[in-house]
Amino acid sequence: MLDGFKKFILRGNVVDMAVGVVVGAAFGSVVTSITKGLLTPLIGAVVHLPNFSDIKFTVRGSMFLVGDVINAVIAFLLIAAAVYFFVVLPINWLMARMHKDEPAAPVTTKKCPECLSDIPMDAKRCAHCTQPVMAMAA
Q: pLDDT averaged over consecutive 10-residue blocks of the chain (138 residues)?
A: 75 77 87 80 76 83 90 84 85 83 81 87 85 70
Q: Measured between alpha carbons, how far apart are the two ends of the chain, in Å?
A: 66
pLDDT at 61: 93
We find that the CATH architecture of domain 2-98 is Orthogonal Bundle (1.10)
Q: Where are the domains of the chain?
A: 2-98, 104-138
98 CB-contact burial (10 Å; exposed 0-12 / middle 13-18 / buried 19+): exposed
CB 36 within 8 A of CB 50: no
Q: Which residues contact 129 (CB under 8 A, 6 or more apart)?
A: 112, 114, 115, 117
**DSSP summary character for residue 53:** G
| pTM recorded for the entire structure | 0.52
Task: Name 66's Cβ contacts closer than 8 Å, sequence gap at least 6.
Answer: 55, 56, 57
Q: What is the DSSP letter of 103?
A: P
Give residues with Cβ within 8 angstroms of 36, minimum separation 6. 53, 71, 75
CA distance linking residue 55 with residue 44, whole number of Å: 10
